């Protein structure tokens, strides 16, 4: 796919050292540092010559003439595709993930858990985008008390969402049954993204029949569905720690940018085929994102697409750790949605599908 440039071993070693040192230190890397810290058996002058060549070939760049080198977008890309070694997660992180993601709550709640965990481990903001081509499959309405109804929506792909409706009028069981039938008749098969419209139609058609009650129910569903994409700001505090954001204006710009739905949407549209997609710096079509990297993972359950989990941060991000964390979470997630038993003493494992 990618045209592999003819970099000799020494250049590869230098490039990967520059990338890794810069990821760690956030400071431009100089020839002397490379020789000393990475045991390159050449003098600094030789390394300087090589770095010059790497710069001319577009893999490195120089903030100013008397500074060391930092990786360019092309450099990061080469590193990710050819040089990076996949890394095992630390036991600390594995334990943290295992103890925190427990599968309680509806699908949104689980997404939220995942976003929080990823943010904590990677110190990056995390975005969850739900699959809104998913369709409604089934709706249940349960009477909790005289003026409280509980509505549960289940999607074709297995997502579950519930909400509570407070009624102004009391309601009889018979009415609930009728209403449930109407909702299922009108909404089953509706794509999530068209749900709002469909709900309006339900009201138009059937409001008369059930007066306020249907209205209460529909509004509750509408509100619950409008909470989409909310998890955007998870882990925002963490970026304050990164030297890239030492200036308050940069923080503000970044927050504004990722709060702009269009920017994120544009970034997440591409590369639908890959389960794991990495878009580095200027590879982003959106100019505002040219200094940032977005790594996203498709979240699936039983081979059905539920949504996308994306990590967004400066180009200087820990690619190896990010990728292994996302992959681990993905595996974990598949199990979690099926069963929440994993953290307790697993007694009878025979109920599992056995694909591992």
Partner DNA sequence: GTTAGCACTTAAGTATTGTGAGTGCTAAAA
Partner DNA sequence: TTTTAGCACTCACAATACTTAAGTGCTAAC
**Which residues of this chain interact with DNA, rule CB under 7 A?**
27-28, 30-33, 41-46, 48-49, 51-52, 55, 62-69
Q: Which secondary structure element, helix H or strand E, spans residue 118, and what is its range?
A: helix 107-122
Q: What is the SS3 assignment for 153?
A: strand
Provide the β-strand partners of residue 155.
Answer: 136
Picked from DNA, a second copy, none, the partner binding residue 68 (CB below 5 to 8 A depending on kind) is DNA
CB of 194 to a second copy, least distance (A): 20
Binder of a second copy out of 33, 129, 220, 277 (CB under 8 A): 220
> Using CB under 8 A, which of the segments 6-14, 72-80, 142-150, 317-325 binds a second copy?
142-150
143-202 binders of a second copy (CB under 8 A): 144-145, 148, 150, 152, 154, 160, 162-166, 168-169
Query: DSSP assignment, residue 267?
Result: H
**Nearest residue to 202 (alpha-carbon basis) of 152, 216, 226:** 216
Q: Can you tell me the distance from the alpha carbon of 130 to that of 123, in angstroms, rounded to the nearest whole number?
A: 22
- Nearer CB in complex with a second copy: 43/259: 259
Q: Which of 124, 131, 126 has the alpha carbon at shortest distance from 113?
A: 126
Whether the CB-CB separation of 155 and 136 falls below 8 Å is answered with: yes
Cβ-based nearer residue to DNA, 67 or 276: 67
Tokens of 25: 């230190």
Taking contact as CB under 8 A, which single stretch among the options 7-15, 25-33, 192-200, 250-258 is the one that binds a second copy? 250-258
Nearer to DNA among residue 70 and residue 139 (C-beta): 70
Site membership for a second copy, residue 102 (CB under 8 A): yes
User: Whose Cβ is closer to a second copy: residue 106's or residue 194's?
Assistant: 106
106 binds, among DNA, a second copy, none (CB under 5 to 8 A by kind): a second copy
Options 24-32, 123-131, 260-268, 335-343: segment touching a second copy (CB under 8 A): 335-343
What is the SS3 assignment for 286-319? CHHHCCEEEEEEEEEECCEEEEEEEEEEECCCCH
The verdict on 212 binding a second copy (CB under 8 A) reads: yes
Interstrand relation of 160-166 and 292-301 (parallel, antiparallel or unpaired) = unpaired
Give min distance, CB of 26 to DNA, in A.
11
162 beta partners: 152
Assess 204 for contact with a second copy (CB under 8 A). no
Q: Which does 243 bind (CB under 5 to 8 A by kind): DNA, a second copy, none?
A: none
List the structure tokens of 22. 């810069």
Instruction: Extract the tokens encoding 241.
Output: 């720690």
Q: Least Å distance between CB 73 and DNA?
A: 19
> How buried is residue 88: exposed, middle or buried, by Cβ count under 10 Å (0-12/13-18/19+)?
exposed
Q: Half-sphere exposure of 289 toward its Cβ, with a 13 Å CA cutoff? A: 23
Closer by beta carbon to a second copy, 43 or else 226: 226
Q: Choose among a second copy, DNA, none what residue 140 binds, the Cβ cut-off being 5 to 8 Å by kind.
A: a second copy
Residue 333: which H helix or E strand, with range?
Answer: helix 319-338
Work out the angle at residue 126's Cα, subtended by the Cα atoms of residues 120 and 130, and round it to the nearest 5 degrees: 130
Closer residue to DNA in complex, CB, 41/86: 41
Strand order in the sheet with 160-166: 136-145, 148-155, 160-166
Q: CA 267, 268, 269, 272 torsion: positive or negative?
A: positive
Query: Considering beta carbons, is residue 105 or 191 the nearer one to a second copy?
Result: 105
Residues forming the site for a second copy (CB under 8 A): 102-106, 109, 140, 142, 144-145, 148, 150, 152, 154, 160, 162-166, 168-169, 212, 215-216, 219-220, 223-224, 233, 236-237, 240-241, 245-248, 251-252, 255, 259, 337, 339-341, 344, 351
């Amino acid at each position: 796919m990618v045209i592999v440039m003819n970099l000799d071993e020494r250049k590869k070693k230098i490039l990967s050292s520059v990338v890794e040192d810069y990821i760690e230190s956030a400071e431009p890397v100089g020839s002397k540092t490379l020789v000393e810290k990475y045991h390159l058996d050449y003098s600094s002058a030789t390394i300087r010559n090589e770095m010059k060549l790497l710069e001319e070939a577009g893999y490195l760049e120089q903030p100013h003439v008397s500074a060391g080198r930092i990786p360019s977008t092309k450099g990061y890309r080469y590193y990710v595709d050819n040089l990076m070694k996949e890394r095992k997660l630390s036991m600390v992180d594995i334990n943290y993930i295992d103890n925190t993601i427990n599968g309680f709550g509806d699908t949104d709640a689980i997404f939220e858990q995942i976003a929080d965990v990823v943010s904590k481990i990677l110190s990056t903001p995390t975005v969850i985008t739900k699959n809104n081509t998913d369709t409604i499959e089934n709706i249940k309405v349960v009477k909790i008390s005289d003026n409280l109804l509980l509505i549960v929506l289940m999607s074709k792909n297995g997502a579950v969402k519930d909400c509570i409706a407070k009624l102004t009028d009391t309601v009889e069981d018979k009415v609930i049954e009728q209403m449930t039938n109407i909702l299922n008749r009108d909404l089953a098969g509706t794509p999530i993204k068209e749900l709002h419209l469909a709900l309006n139609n339900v009201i138009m058609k059937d409001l008369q029949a059930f007066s306020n009650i249907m209205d209460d129910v529909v509004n509750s569903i509408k509100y619950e569905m409008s909470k989409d994409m909310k998890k955007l700001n998870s882990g925002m505090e963490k970026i304050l720690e990164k030297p890239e954001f030492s200036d308050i204006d940069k923080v503000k710009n970044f927050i504004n940018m990722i709060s702009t739905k269009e920017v994120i949407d544009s970034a997440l549209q591409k590369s639908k085929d890959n389960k794991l997609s990495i878009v580095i710096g200027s590879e982003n079509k959106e100019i505002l994102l040219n200094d940032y990297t977005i790594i996203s993972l498709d979240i699936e359950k039983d081979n059905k697409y539920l949504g996308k989990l994306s990590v967004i941060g400066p180009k200087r991000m820990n690619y190896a750790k990010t990728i292994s964390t996302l992959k681990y979470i993905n595996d974990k997630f598949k199990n979690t949605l099926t069963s929440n038993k994993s953290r307790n003493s697993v007694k009878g494992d025979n109920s599992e599908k056995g694909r591992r």
